[in-house]
Structures are given as structure tokens and as C-alpha cells.
Amino acid sequence: MKTFTLGQDKEQALQLIPDRKIKVVRLGNTKICVSRIGDSFYAFETQCPHRKAELQQGVVTSFGEIVCPLHEYRFDMKTGDVKSGSCGELLTYKVELTGDGLKIYV
Ligand code: FES
């Protein structure tokens, strides 16, 4: 497992990822989606586990879910659990907001 850091402090991390927006970031050879609700951050794979739609085009709900833009399946952004739909789980990554920025463990 590798650790990546977004931003240099908490404020910078909050500015880099606007509330309820989804940003795709490249960490080494891996591209992942990063989002947040308030100061709760989430990181997950860029493609939907159902039919590989780009989740950056999806919608973040106030329940901590990402809604896929193609067939509107819903996934828990923290655990990857499928909340609506029938397919495999979403791959998620551990994140931690620190005074040195947002740590992402890939
Ligand atoms: S491709 Fe995401 S729900 Fe079908």
C-alpha cells in the first residue's frame, strides 16, 4: 500500500475538492475519484463496477452515496456497498484528513 497526500494542509485539501464535487486524481499509476461532504472525504475507483461508466459524471447524495450516471445504481462511497442495483461492490480507498493534507492510502 502507498500513501499519497493531496494539499499541504487541511484548508488546501478542502479547496482542492469542492463540497459534493468529484475530482479525478492520478496517484502514481492509479486514477481515482475523490469527493467530500463537509469535511468527510471519500476515495473510490473511477469506473462503475456495473458497466464501467465514468463515476466522475455521477451525483453525490447527502447520504454519502455516489449515483452512477448511466443506470443510476447507488454505492456507499465509504464502504463500496451497493445500495441500489445489482453488481459487484465499488472499490474504495481509505482516506484521512490531517493537518498535512488529505492522506489517501492506495
Ligand atoms: S454502468 Fe453504472 S449503473 Fe450501470
Residue 32 grid cell: 481515482
Provide the domain count of the chain. 1
CATH of the domain at 39: 2.102.10.10
From CA 65, how far away is CA 52, in angstroms rounded? Answer: 17
Q: Measured between alpha carbons, how far is residue 49 from residues 6, 15, 74, 79, 99 in Å?
A: 25, 29, 11, 14, 33
From CA 73, how far away is CA 35, in angstroms rounded? Answer: 17
Residue 99 belongs to what domain range?
A: 3-105
| pTM of the shown model | 0.96
Question: Does residue 85's CB lie within 6 angstroms of at least one atom of ligand 1?
Answer: yes
Question: Does residue 93's CB lie within 6 angstroms of at least one atom of ligand 1?
Answer: no
Which atom of ligand 1 sits closest to the CA of residue 53? Answer: 1
Place of cell 468527510: 40
pLDDT in tens, the chain (106 residues): 899 999 999 999 999 999 999 999 999 889 999 999 999 999 999 999 999 999 999 999 999 999 999 999 999 999 999 999 999 999 999 999 999 999 999 9
